Amino acid sequence: MRYESITEAIGNTPLVRIDPAVHGLVHIDLYAKLEMLNPFGSVKDRPAWNMAGPHLATAAERGETVVELSSGNTAKALALLAGMHGLRFKSVTNRMRIPEIKELLLLLGAEIEELPGRSECLDPTDTDDPLTRFHQALAEPGGTYLHTDQYFNPRNTEAHASGTGPEIIKDLDGRAPDWFIACVGTAGSSTGVARVLREHDPDVRVLGLVAHKSDFIPGIRTIDEVHQVGLFDPATYDTIESVTADEAIDGMVTLIRRCGLLSGPTGGAAFHGAVRHLRAIDDELTERRTAVFIVCDRAESYTGYVRQRRPELVGRPPLKNSAAALTEAQVRAEAAVIDTEAARRWISDGDPAPLVIDLRGPHAYAALHIDGSVNITDELFGELLRGGLPFSKRQPVLLACPVGEKSARYAALLTRMGHPDVRSLSGGIIAWRDAGAPLVRD
């Protein structure tokens, strides 16, 4: 397939049948609409392009910055679209909760503004909430922003009403599915698709999925948060149900490990919510039915999210030469320690004198350190040791950290690795300072 621009590759995503052996539904064919296969990686490519597309040329002339309240996929798509047109993109967000996405956005050239947290000493009469100020700033005359406004912009919904919805009908040989299941984020996809499906067949039932209130699932709002979305209309949905983060991850793992679909947690939530809802109905059915859910984006950015909630899913064997693997008792038994006074004598009279390694961060080292010491930050030092001893066994070593805790750990590890004379400065640089021993800066 040959294209003039990557934007032509947006849409026309595959509709893939989920193996009944996986979902266990007897009378219902369950299909996944693979929005993750859009070129920028998610369902948001469609609205991003539909909302920004018509304005990009003018915006480029005026030197405007594209701006959106998004911490995820919309920001990703808009950043790429802006970049293609020589525009800057700014993402304004409460808090970026997925570090990988944050880094990815920075890689894409986005600028990120994180809004202040909630006030601790609350003034209930304060009308100056950060979002209000954001909107005021956009509305200022002479402003140079192209605000796509995904939560209120009807062109978000329209992208799905003209694309995603008709594609589903076409791929089901001109029929609407009996159920359509979507997670509610901006409500754009669910509202747009539902409208088209219902126009085609008024009996289509629409299940909207929201995140369980105390949970966080990327790209899905909780039942409270959906009320703040301009495009959200409760009448769109026959049912609204909530999904927990755990269930979303379960669904995601099933799609990945059993269906070959590299879905992220949002798609997992849709799958889990769909099967849970349909299972009860399936028992009553006698004829064949169809259901479609949306796989919103891909898995790769969410390994940290999974590690935090379900570490066993990304479990790895312990690393070689790891200081963290030593127990407190092992450290106590195996680390040789030396106090400030003895350490000073060792440094001045030792033959050979010890190599002094300061394990603190570079700024702290630059500010004050033991004269003649070498700075290798603890994390780097740890990495270094994975490969083996980074200095000769004939070279005595004195390790120093702030309080003598990390240095003892590394001293124990080096001893285990066969080094005969490594000692840890007991009480660390703080004890050294408190004993009145000299510290220098360059």
Partner 1 sequence: MRVPLYLQPRLEPPLSSLLEATPFLHSLADALGSPLNVLLPDRIAENAERFRAVYRKHHLTGRVTFAHKANRSSALLRRLAATDPGSTGVDVASLGELQHALSCGFTPDRITATGPKDPRFLWLAARTGVTVHPDSLTELEQLAELVRKFALPRVDVLPRLSGFETATGSGVSGVKVLSRRSRFGTPVGEVGALLDALERHRDAVEPVGVAYHLDTTGLTEKAVALEQCVVVMDELRARGLDPRIVDIGGGFGVGYVEDAGQWERYTTELANAVLGTRPALTWRGHGYGLRNEGGTLRGALGLYPAHRPTAGPGYLDDLLSAPAPASGRPPATLLLEHLYDLAVQPGRALVDQCGAVLARVLDVRPTDSGDHLVRVGMNAGDMSLEEHGVLVDPLLLPREGGQGQGDEGPVGIRLVGNLCLEADLITRRTVYLPRLPHVGDLLAFANTAGYAMDFHAHVAQRQPLARTVAVVRDGGSWRWCPDEEYWPITQSGGPAS
Q: Which residues bind partner 1 (CB under 8 A)?
A: 88, 95-96, 102, 106, 109-122, 124, 126, 129-132, 213-214, 223-224, 227-230, 232-233, 360-361, 363-368, 401-403, 405, 428-430, 433, 441
**Shortest Å distance, C-beta 262 to partner 1:** 27
Tell me the residue type at 116.
Answer: P
| Total Cβ atoms within 10 A of residue 117 | 9
What is the spatial distance between Cα 407 and Cα 399, in angstroms, rounded to a whole number? Answer: 5
Which token pair is 406?
């990390």
User: Is the dihedral angle over the CA atoms 56, 74, 208, 12 positive or is it negative?
Assistant: positive
**Shortest Å distance, C-beta 259 to partner 1:** 33
What is the spatial distance between Cα 315 and Cα 309, in angstroms, rounded to a whole number? Answer: 12
| Gap between the terminal Cα atoms of the chain | 62
**Shortest Å distance, C-beta 135 to partner 1:** 10
Q: Which residues pair with 423 in a beta bridge?
A: 336, 398
For partner 1, the closer of residues 18 and 226 by Cβ is 226
**Kindly report the CA angle at 270 between 269 and 275, in degrees rounded to 5?**
100
**Shortest Å distance, C-beta 16 to partner 1:** 35
For partner 1, the closer of residues 66 and 338 by Cβ is 66
**Shortest Å distance, C-beta 46 to partner 1:** 23
**Shortest Å distance, C-beta 177 to partner 1:** 28
For partner 1, the closer of residues 65 and 330 by Cβ is 65
Determine how β-strand 289-295 pairs with β-strand 336-338.
unpaired
Q: Which residues pair with 146 in a beta bridge?
A: 66
Is the preceding omega at residue 352 within 30 degrees of 0, hence cis? yes
Tell me the residue type at 160.
Answer: H
For partner 1, the closer of residues 108 and 182 by Cβ is 108
For partner 1, the closer of residues 342 and 367 by Cβ is 367
For partner 1, the closer of residues 102 and 272 by Cβ is 102
**Shortest Å distance, C-beta 343 to partner 1:** 17
Q: Which of 172, 178, 168, 180 is nearest to 201 (CA)?
A: 178
For partner 1, the closer of residues 73 and 375 by Cβ is 375
